[in-house]
Amino acid sequence: MGKNLVSFRAPCPVCGQTVTACRQESLRRDRVAVPWFAPYEVLIHEVVAGKTHDPHSDRKRIHWACDACIDAGRALLADQSKQEFNDCWPYYVYTDDTIHCKDCGCDFVFAKDEQKHWYEKLHFWVQSRPIYCKPCKQRRKAAGQKPSEPK
Ligand SMILES: [Zn+2]
Ligand SMILES: [Zn+2]
């Protein structure tokens, strides 16, 4: 694809620091477990094309982070081989995400280690996300409403 592929630089979605994208651990070719889906060149292109870095606007954005963010624990390295995905990008890293509860309207954190558990242990589709905060979830459960997650 691009002739300058190896030197492609992109802002880290987590810290904003511009880094050489293809040298980052989260995007390394040998970590891409699904070449039929995400050839490295396409992946890097998508990253550099800057799909969007707004964490709430585009589910198809690539979740990655620079090495410094992974080392500092701001991002948790993901394992795509354990994820279930089809028409959207797998996670290359997990980062804490803030979600608006559909019931009470509060903001709650969908933590990165919780995401890893959802997508790699419970094997929920990677596009599924919690819609209720924990208290609301417990209240609904206690009230006998069927759990509606994941969607
Ligand atoms: Zn970073
Ligand atoms: Zn709530």
Please identify every residue whose CB atom is under 5 Å from ligand 2, which is an ion.
Answer: 101, 103-104, 133, 136
What is the band of 146 on the pLDDT scale with cuts at 50, 70, 90? low
Q: What are the residues whose beta carbons fall under 8 Å from the beta carbon of 7, sequence distance 6 or more?
A: 20
**Cα(89)–Cα(127) distance, rounded to whole angstroms?**
9
The one-letter code for the residue type at 19 is V
Give me 104's structure tokens: 């009470």
Higher model confidence: residue 94 or residue 9? 94
Beta partners for residue 110, in sequence order: 97
Cα(145) to ligand 2 centroid in Å equals 15
Cα(148) to ligand 2 centroid in Å equals 14
**Torsion sign, CA atoms 53, 56, 62, 66:** positive
Higher model confidence: residue 99 or residue 81? 99
Q: Which ligand is nearest to the CA of 21?
A: 1
pLDDT for the residue numbered 20:
83
Give the pLDDT mean for 139-149: 78
**Cα(76)–Cα(3) distance, rounded to whole angstroms?**
31
Confidence (pTM): 0.76
